[in-house]
Amino acid sequence: MRIDGVFSGGGIKALSLIGAVEAAEHRGLCFERVAGTSAGALMAALVKAGYKADEMKSIIDTLDFKKFLDTSKVPIPFMNWLKLYWKLGLFKGDYLENWVATLLANRGIVTFADIPYGSLKIIASDITRGRLIVLPDDLEEYGLLPERFPIARAVRMSCSLPYFFYPIKLFNRVGQKSYIVDGGVLSNFPMWLFQRKDRVPIRPVLGFQLSSYINDHIPTHQVKNAVQLFKALFETMMQAHDNRYIDTHDARDIIFMPVKHVSVIDFQLSAEAKNELYQFGYDRAEHFLQSWIAGKTYPHPAFKNRA
């Protein structure tokens, strides 16, 4: 069955998305269009590039996540605070972008022109203009040609956690500078991207959400110092806003994977912890898909005569 997929952000928790995608593959689901925010944008890009879940798992199993924390080689702790002040982030994000670019290039993909039009949507946040941007759609507003824009760059923009990674600078047609940061600031789970006004989709839309449904219990955060405040900020950013707008109808098409024991910025996971996240995503998706697939009949009758 051909479907559209939407992947939420969640930092390192996104390892559960790989397990969920493998469950979908085992059920014969094939992604036509994909969208995502932050780590979900990375997932969407790799899925669109043709990577299967077992390939992604092999890549992650050998990856040292600490390499993403690329910083200047100045052995003076105080310099980190100066960098945060002047660069607006602790880590450059170059390693992340280059890593994604290499993975995509291995499949012959560099820019949005290398994939079918409209098949990949990535969310980022323009904090200068105070608006959400959809990539590649909104790039023309910054004087950029969407089809020539590197997908790895778009993924990096969507993954640029405020204060953590350097924001990306874009300039509009009149030369005004904008700072682009993590899409999760404004929409961590863009399920709305593939929704039609008449709510009758051409094909099923399946959401992969790394948090609980709004009606479920959401744990509180202990905030007693700056580090805990930082973690609580991003946990809230990843969980709160989009869930408020998920109604009962939408929830029927969403696999909820509430990973509660791992922080979004826990880059020192053991191999065992990685496998637990992966298996958790697989189990949640497999349980959900047993009944979800049985209830889907597509193409919808309203679209039988449409291309």
Overall number of domains in the chain: 1
State how far the Cα of 180 lies from the Cα of 171, in Å rounded to an integer. Answer: 10
| Predicted pLDDT of residue 67 | 87
Q: Assess contact for 267 and 68: CB atoms under 8 A.
A: yes
Which tokens go with 307?
A: 């291309």
The rounded distance, in Å, linking the Cα atoms of 135 and 67 is 26
What is the structure's pLDDT at 306?
Answer: 45
Mean pLDDT by groups of 10 residues along the chain of 307 residues = 95 95 98 97 98 97 84 56 62 93 98 98 96 97 96 97 90 91 92 78 91 62 66 61 60 92 83 95 97 74 46
Which CATH number is 33's domain given?
A: 3.40.1090.10
Domain span at 14:
2-303
Q: What pLDDT shows up at residue 102?
A: 98
State both tokens at 77.
């702790």
pLDDT at 218: 54
Q: What is the pLDDT of residue 233?
A: 66
Q: Closest Cα to residue 8, out of 190, 280, 165, 182?
A: 190
What is the reported pLDDT for 305? 44
What are the catalytic residues? Answer: 38, 182
The whole-number pLDDT of residue 265 equals 77
Q: What pLDDT was estimated at residue 65?
A: 84
pLDDT the model gives residue 35: 98
Per-residue confidence (pLDDT) for residue 237, from 0 to 100:
60
- Beta strand 30-37 with 2-7 is parallel
User: How does DSSP assign 210-266, residue by residue?
Assistant: SS--TTS--------SHHHHHHHHHHHHHHHHHHTT--HHHHTTEEE----SS-TT-
Beta-ladder partners of 30: 2
For residues 300 and 88, give the distance between their C-alpha atoms in angstroms, rounded to a whole number: 48
